Amino acid sequence: MFEKVAASVLIVSLCFLTSACGGGDEGADQSQELSTSTPSSSEASAPIDRRRAAMIEADRNAEAWFTTGGQFGEKHYSTLDQINKETVGALGFAWDYDLFTRRGIESTPVIVDGVVYGTGTWGAVYAVDGKSGEEVWRFQPEVEGQVAKDACCDIVNRGVAVWEGLLYVAALDGVLYALDKETGEEIWRADTFASEPGRKTSTGAPRVAGNVVVIGFGGAEMDARGYVTAYDLETGERAWRFYTVPGSPEKPYEHEELAWAADTWDPDSLWKAGLGGTVWDNMVYDPVLNLLYVGTGNSAVYAQDFRSPAGGDNLFVSSILAINPDTGRLVWHYQTTPGDQWDYTATQNMILTELEWKGERRDVLMQAPKNGFFYILDRATGELLSAENFAPVNWASHVDMETGKPVLTDAADFVSKPSVIWPSTRGAHNWRPMSYSEDTGLVYIPAYEAVDLKVNLFPSGYEYVPHHWTAGVLPLPLIEAAVDAVDGFYPEDGSVDKDALKQTIRDYKEFAPPNRTILRAWNPVKEEIAWDIEIDEFGNSGSVLSTAGGLLFHTKPDGNLNVYDDETGALLKAIDTGSGMMAAPATYMIDGEQYVVVMAGLGGGGFFSYPPYSAAYKYGNGGRMMAFKLGGGETPKPDPVEWPVQPEPPARIGDAAMIEKGKRRFAWNCSVCHVNSGVGAIPNLKRMQPYIHDVFGEIVLEGLLVGNGMPRFDDVLTHDDVEAIHAYLIDAAWTEYEAGSGSATNPEDEIGGLSQH
């Protein structure tokens, strides 16, 4: 069924940041004809109301950090400069605060009136005094553990919005809370998932836009249909909802934009699968233009043949939407990845700034989505100004500046044959926010140059199964563990030549350039790389903050807070904290002292086990908030962790056929989270303790550990299925036990999960 892919395809189809990748420059100064909606003329010129004026004024207060991205342009940049190239040597520990969680921490704090507001597991909020590190209040939403089953990428949260005395946070279960920012007391709540089908989880930060607070959610691989919902800031009353993809044409369209968006879908699309376009991460608000920019995610099923057989752009998947927050109406849109088949979400952070562009000052929006191209748009009109690849891409040769669309290559097609595709499903840039320095004019991108072999999981035609993973495609990293996954995902019925597929992975392992994890300084005006910092930590680039002190702060999973010269990338300072970090730092000022604050904790999609290089492996993964200032002391490290050795597994159960069945059930239902490698917050099921074996069925079918985030699976698995999974796990445990390899982790010894968003 699968043809062996010629290795030469790899060589000729790659586009590695060379001039050969170009071809899109010539038309760069021509305005693109965008297929926009037709906004009423009053929208752009509406008078700036009191609230918007206050936001514009607040934007000038550099002592605070108003949104997760900093000031309202969300540049992840601060004009504070007390900590600078000359003084950074004196940067040290100010305080820390225990988050009491061992799960992934992805939030950039918001800092208002001297209080740091960060978020964590399930949507917990921590309000901490920015000077002393003492708790002001803490909020833990009541979330049913079962909702963890709907999360692709850990039970994380990426932050809050704060405005005029209220704080807004979305819990994992989609309930949006407005809390009193002084006390944490609940003022109102809104269930943003009520009466909508599909498996969804909310992990992004809400945004305040004019008179409303807006929130989206994730679930594009879980049969969700994307939308964002706006609520009145004070009352929580629903103002509007904008669906990012149409529903079945048998029902009326919820709003006018869906009528023409539906023209970009096959009328016989797989509507019941939800079709994604979910807004799982970023939005940004421009109070001057009164536009809310919304980044939408991929569609699912990935393969377009399976979801919209007639093709089409499939609006509005993988797009940037400009919405008038007063009306909920679309003003313009730009689709980064038409008909997205590759999980190339456009949910990555968007930065609003002014650029000197070909002799003209332009108000722009910049985004580096997963698809590998760096986009600059005129943010008033949506006109495309720049789209150069900032990382290796081979799915498209370039973006045609006339049409604004990528020009696909043969490598893009993974449905009729397995195909090796750059960027990988993880994306050339994922949720870790990039930062733009107004001083250097550089954008600092936590980037990833990686490939995967995408293979069709349904070579005989897609079959939609409710409550199942809906990607329909297997993105296999080119590592030995992927060879093993082939057995897990494909049946023994001969419908797929598994040996040929395994050989393809091994062949490409030989030829493919190594994956690189990089902190990349990109010059948006010159459309080229300024410099790179190589990151040793496979796939985990950490996150960044740039400041007017000439500094670039960089959080690392190995526990270091690195500080570089923002012009050259030279390392000026490294603080070893002993706490692994992924989330972006923020900075603020209290009583004349500048602080840098970061929230530590590894996890999230792709990091369900702790690699040996990580601080989590050495010191555990106790989440904590840490602040640093000039003249601070040495950072206290957590106690080192002694991980338990693998216990002797119980006696094998079942026969070879049962084990084989269990392996497939495990691959399809469990392997998204349980990477079964080394140690981590998600247990390695090859190392279960005897008392866990005793209650294995109760855990999987009855939800015995649902409070820990282990959902019940009785909607998709039978008792026999679970017996088979248990038989497979015991068999795999014995293999590891007898090899004596159950003591250390290997960063390459993991699939990394099916999805990293």
Of 107-115, 217-225, 585-593, 729-737, the window that binds Ca ion (rule: CB under 5 A) is: 217-225
Contact 580, 614 (CB under 8 A): yes
CA distance linking residue 671 with residue 476, whole number of Å: 13
- Tell me the closest approach of the beta carbon of residue 565 to Ca ion, in angstroms: 35
- Tell me the closest approach of the beta carbon of residue 488 to Ca ion, in angstroms: 21
Q: Is 343 among the residues that bind Ca ion (CB under 5 A)?
A: yes
- Tell me the closest approach of the beta carbon of residue 345 to Ca ion, in angstroms: 6
- Tell me the closest approach of the beta carbon of residue 557 to Ca ion, in angstroms: 22
Strand partners, 97: 625
Report in angstroms the alpha-carbon separations of 472 from 86, 275, 421, 432, 454: 53, 12, 16, 26, 10
Binding residues for Ca ion, how many (CB under 5 A)? 4
3-state SS, residue 564: strand
Of 31-39, 203-211, 296-304, 546-554, the window that binds Ca ion (rule: CB under 5 A) is: 296-304
Of 245-253, 290-298, 546-554, 655-663, the window that binds Ca ion (rule: CB under 5 A) is: 290-298
In three state form, how does the secondary structure of 213-247 look? EEECCECCCCCCECEEEEEECCCCCEEEEEECCCC
For 709, residues 6+ apart whose C-beta sits below 8 A from its C-beta are 103, 145, 148, 155
Question: Of the listed 154, 343, 558, 721, which one is catalytic?
Answer: 343
Give the contact letters, 645-684, x = binds to Ca ion (CB under 5 A), - = no.
----------------------------------------
- Tell me the closest approach of the beta carbon of residue 217 to Ca ion, in angstroms: 12
- Tell me the closest approach of the beta carbon of residue 296 to Ca ion, in angstroms: 11
3-state SS, residue 297: coil
Of 50-58, 72-80, 218-226, 509-517, the window that binds Ca ion (rule: CB under 5 A) is: 218-226
Strand partners, 486: none
Of 332-340, 341-349, 378-386, 535-543, the window that binds Ca ion (rule: CB under 5 A) is: 341-349
Q: Given the structure tokens 């607070």, which residue do they identify? A: 213
Sheet containing 435-436, strands listed edge to edge, beginning at the edge strand earlier in sequence: 435-436, 443-449, 516-523, 528-535
Applying the rule CB under 5 A, the residues between 302 and 331 that interact with Ca ion are none
Q: Is 298 among the residues that bind Ca ion (CB under 5 A)?
A: yes
Among 171, 147, 294, smallest CA distance to 230 is for: 294
Contact 435, 545 (CB under 8 A): yes
Nearer to Ca ion, 489 or 564 (CB): 489
Contact 752, 606 (CB under 8 A): yes
- Tell me the closest approach of the beta carbon of residue 412 to Ca ion, in angstroms: 17
Q: Is 341 among the residues that bind Ca ion (CB under 5 A)?
A: no
Q: Is 381 among the residues that bind Ca ion (CB under 5 A)?
A: no
If one counts every other C-beta atom within 10 angstroms of the C-beta of residue 734, the result is 16
For 18, residues 6+ apart whose C-beta sits below 8 A from its C-beta are none
Among 480, 432, 482, 494, smallest CA distance to 455 is for: 482
* Sign of the torsion formed by the C-alpha atoms of 231, 232, 233 and 235: negative
CA distance linking residue 561 with residue 540, whole number of Å: 14
Q: Is 721 among the residues that bind Ca ion (CB under 5 A)?
A: no
Nearer to Ca ion, 220 or 228 (CB): 220
Of 207-215, 322-330, 339-347, 381-389, the window that binds Ca ion (rule: CB under 5 A) is: 339-347
Nearer to Ca ion, 345 or 456 (CB): 345
Helix (H) or strand (E) holding 733: helix 719-739
Q: Is 756 among the residues that bind Ca ion (CB under 5 A)?
A: no
- Tell me the closest approach of the beta carbon of residue 169 to Ca ion, in angstroms: 23
DSSP 504-536: HHHHHHHHSPPPEEEEEEEETTTTEEEEEEEE-
219, two tokens: 């679930």
For 88, residues 6+ apart whose C-beta sits below 8 A from its C-beta are 549, 551, 563, 572, 573
Give the contact letters, 220-239, x = binds to Ca ion (CB under 5 A), - = no.
x-------------------
Q: Is position 694 annotated as part of the catalytic site? A: no
- Tell me the closest approach of the beta carbon of residue 155 to Ca ion, in angstroms: 17
State the catalytic residues: 343
Interface with Ca ion (CB under 5 A): 220, 298, 343, 757
